[in-house]
Structure 1
Amino acid sequence: MPPSEPRSSRPYTAVLHQFVGIGDLVWHLPYFEAVARDSAGGQVAVIASPTTFARQLLEGLPWVAEVIDFDRRPRRSEGRQGRHAGVAGLFRMGRELRDKRFERIVLFSGHPNRGFVAWLAGIPQRLGYGTGWLQRRFLTTPPYIQRYEGPSVSVFNEAASYAIAHGWCSQRLVPKIQARPVALDDMRQRLASLPRPLYAFAIGTSEPFKQWGQARYAELATRLIERGCGVVLLGGPGETQLAEAIVADVPAGLRHGIRAETQQTIQHTVAALRLADGCVGNDTGVTNMAVACDLPTFVLLGKRPLLDLDPLMHMLRGPSLDTIGVQDVLSMMQAQQAPGFAAA
């Protein structure tokens, strides 16, 4: 139900996030919060895919009124069809949003079908990127933006252009996330025995071509532990076997310096990152969370668009991930005076 503000005040607003990754959601958070400041009660409802773990990531944030699932593209590992998949799913989503009686929807998307859903929901004010004529047919409120054509990831750049065009902010915003106190206390105890500085390895990935690999992670962990550092392996339950294999590949005499944490919640992962001193990992949600936790982060990018949303993100690029070796990572860490390397 809408907040109990007068009808003439700021509109009761939903923001819709198009993409399915955790990192994509993290990039958008400061812009969602900026929209919330211009919305009824200083809050927005966030519409997002369950694959972003939005319910866990946004839990307790004062500017989030509720999280609404847009269950269109489940992860392949789930082996099911999404509730909002296909044309019938779009109509179902439209009906569900109509019952919410939103006065405004802010689509962080240029996709026509998101505009169609907003129109089906009967929401009076419908804002979107409007990068194509078809989506504009369903929108009510310009300005619109141009598609990003530069060398970096388009998602973050288009979100920034859109928010600036509508006056929700005056410049690009850098995402930041905090850990919940309970999760922070739990992870502090779990990681207490590891040496410092502590490096988080983001070993998970949504696609095989983004995976740096077990052998390289094990060698990097070994080299860091030999320098006196600790290593915590972060990922989801799907990375448990990989994490165990990495630990097993570290020489027995050095395993005191490594720990796998792949069975925890997203909030525990955020807490582990807040307790770490740096991060190395695949191009995945955890590396983007690491930067948002103020960690110097070394992302194994390969031949992919730049991730230039935060100066703490250091990118290792090459024709492919196979061309990026352990010494390349260590050399960049040395050059950037990463924790544990400044005095070397």
Structure 2
Amino acid sequence: MTNEKLNIAVVYSHHKLGDLIWQLPYIKSISDHYNSKVTLIVRPKTQAKDILKDESYIDDFFYCKFRKKLWYFIEVFILYLFYKKKKFTHVFILDKISRPAIAAKLAKVSNIIGPGIKSQKKWLTTELFLTENDYKNLNYSEQSEKILKFQKISIKEKIPKINIRKQTLSVIKPNIKEEKKYVSFGVDSFELYKMWYEEQFAELANKFHENRIAEKFFLIASPDNSEVVKKIIDLSGRDIFYDCSKLNLLQVIKVIKNSIFFVGNNSGPLNLASALQVNAYGLIGNAKVSELTNSNIKPILPPSYENVFKKDRLEMKKINTQEVYNFITSDLF
């Protein structure tokens, strides 16, 4: 579909990086369908302006914190002003949040599309909505797929991909020696029960190092979980680690891109590694591995694994270190 007058915004309010990454195929599909670049409206915590700046289907970014109480009304007004300034013809909302739809209605946007869950429905211009059962039983990717199908938008590729130019990474730290062999470990998670144990990461790093598979290990974690990184380093007893807990997302992308492979918990950095098309191994002990279907992630599961959520970190301990080592080396070599 071609129309030079189209101006399209896509809104996604979730704060987790992994959730945004899963939405990329659907955002690109919207752009492809209308043959028009989109403006992406997301939370600043996603750092989307940095990590998605080289994507050809995104024209601009706008950050909204999507706060509650008094900020709810302030942000409706901020979004209203932004919509009016940009003169959007379409606003796609890929979750159930209402304020982007309210602002679009006030700005007289012609096409306001979203799932239509609960109160959002009355602000949309579409006639087809997700049901309550859809919202409860479909994951976020499946919900977006259904929203787009209502609009007769085809989805050619469901696996998320992130494109980063070499020039983008060449000007940022850390400086990485290309002749060395690096591996990235994603050692924390926003949901702490999904974390493999520190002693297991330390043991795995030592095994890779002893067998000359890797010389240095990037330990990727958020600043809030820097103690996890420190504990792994202490338990290993070897000077083979780089603490990445103070790096921003673009710097994390650089270290992942320079790694032979990534292994880590079911969290944002794992999804990021997969989208960057780096060999990505996911430690899945208490989450649904079925949710990784549309990805390049290779799951490593414990014995007697069940495809259900269990908010119990002890389930992660059942993933044996030697079996993780064997799985990865067998797959790579």
- Fold conserved between structures, TM > 0.5: yes
What amino acid is aligned across from residue 120 of structure 2 in structure 1?
A: Q
In 1, are the aligned partners of 2:274 and 2:280 still within 8 Å (CA)? yes
Aligned to 2:219, what secondary structure does the other structure show? strand
* Partners of 1:109 and 1:129 within 8 A in 2: yes
CA contact (8 A) 1:183 1:268 kept: no
**Equivalent residue number for residue 341 of structure 1:** 330
Distance 1:333 1:171 in 2: 35
Residue number among 282, 301, 308 corresponding to 1:316 in the alignment: 301
**Paired amino acid for 1:269:** V
> Which amino acid counterpart does residue 235 of structure 2 have in structure 1?
D
Structure 2: unaligned runs, 5 residues or longer: none
Tell me which residue corresponds to 2:143. 158
After TM superposition, the score normalised by the length of structure 2 is 0.82
Look up the SS of the partner of 1:60 in the other structure.
Answer: coil
Task: Look up the match of 1:168.
Answer: 153
CA contact (8 A) 1:71 1:85 kept: no
- Does residue 119 (structure 1) correspond to residue 113 (structure 2)? The answer is no
- 1:299 corresponds in structure 2 to 282
Kindly state the Cα deviation for residue 118 of structure 1 after the two structures are TM-superposed: 2.4
Contact 1:184–1:272 at 8 Å: present in 2 too? no
1:105 to 2:91 alignment: yes
State whether structure 2 residue 317 is matched by structure 1 residue 325.
yes
Pair 1:278-2:261 in alignment: yes
When residues 312 and 87 of structure 1 are mapped into structure 2, their CA distance, relative to the original with a 3 A threshold, is same
In structure 1, the partner of 2:79 is 93
Contact 2:11 2:93 in 1 (8 A): yes
Question: 2:234, 2:324 → 1: CA distance?
Answer: 26
Query: Aligned equivalents of 1:60 and 1:342: distance in 2?
Result: 31
Alignment-derived partner of residue 234 in structure 2: 248
CA contact (8 A) 1:10 1:38 kept: no
Moved over 6 A (4+): none
Q: Using the TM superposition, name which of 120-129 and 241-250 deviates more.
A: 241-250
Structure 1 position 228 matched with structure 2 position 217: no
Q: 1:294 to 1:187 in 2, by over 3 A?
A: farther
How many Å separate the matches in 2 of 1:193 and 1:242? 28
Distance 2:136 2:325 in 1: 30
Aligned to 1:78: none
Aligned pair count reads 318
Q: Which runs of 5+ in 1 are unaligned?
A: 1-5, 74-80
- Normalized against structure 1, the TM-score is what? 0.79
Q: Distance between the aligned counterparts of 2:245 and 2:218, measured in 1?
A: 10
Residue 58 to residue 142, structure 1, CA distance change in 2 (3 Å)? farther
Query: Could you tell me how far 1:29 is from its partner in structure 2?
Result: 1.4
Q: 2:31 corresponds to which residue?
A: 36
Deviation at 1:343, TM superposition (A): 8.4
Give the 3-state SS of the residue equivalent to 2:41 in structure 1.
strand
**Deviates further, 262-271 or 17-26:** 262-271
Verify: 1:261 aligned to 2:253, yes or no.
Answer: no
Tell me which amino acid in the other structure corresponds to 2:55. L
Residue aligned with 2:59, SS:
strand
Q: Give the superposition deviation at 1:15.
A: 0.5
Secondary structure, counterpart of 1:324 in structure 2: helix
Q: Structure 2 counterpart of 1:109, which letter?
A: D
How far has the Cα of 1:63 moved from its partner?
2.0
Cα 1:223/1:326, change in 2 over 3 Å: farther
Residue 218 of structure 1 deviates from its aligned partner by 1.8
2:195–2:316 CA contact under 8 A, matched in 1: no
Sequence identity, in percent? 18
- Rounded to whole Å, the distance in 1 between the matches of 2:152 and 2:256 is 32
